[in-house]
Amino acid sequence: MLLFACAVDVSAQRLACVATPSAQPFSLVSTLAVGIWLRLNTATGQLYQIQNQSYSTQAPTQRAVNATVLSDGGVPGRFALFPDGNAFTASSGSDVLLDQQTGQAWLVAPDKNWNYTFTPFPGA
């Protein structure tokens, strides 16, 4: 679970948020798409997309966005998801996955069908 402290930056016309990691091993983050969430293992960086089949009796589905363990033996709270804050991609629901120990970052963004992708930032 992440707690966010947010403030409006009037000069930049944006909302600035800073996450405070907790010791919870998992976090569930809602997306802009109805019925789609991202489940993050905050110790390993593994990330899964969970989709509820709206207006259906089918069980929710889960798809790996990143099944690779990014940190063996990591401590809960090491990885966190942040909204990217980019005016050109914010409407698409992009997030940044951050390793809060090393500073390494990955872009987590949906494609046109709301299937999330996982891409390392250059030089990260």
On whether the CB atoms of residues 31 and 110 are closer than 8 A, the answer is yes
pLDDT in tens, 86-106: 555 544 678 899 999 999 999
Residue 80 per-residue DSSP state: E
Residue ranges per structural domain of the chain: 23-120
- The whole model's pTM is what? 0.72
pLDDT in tens, 7-66: 555 554 455 555 555 678 999 888 877 788 899 999 999 999 998 876 667 788 899 999
How many CB atoms lie under 10 A from the CB of residue 51? 17
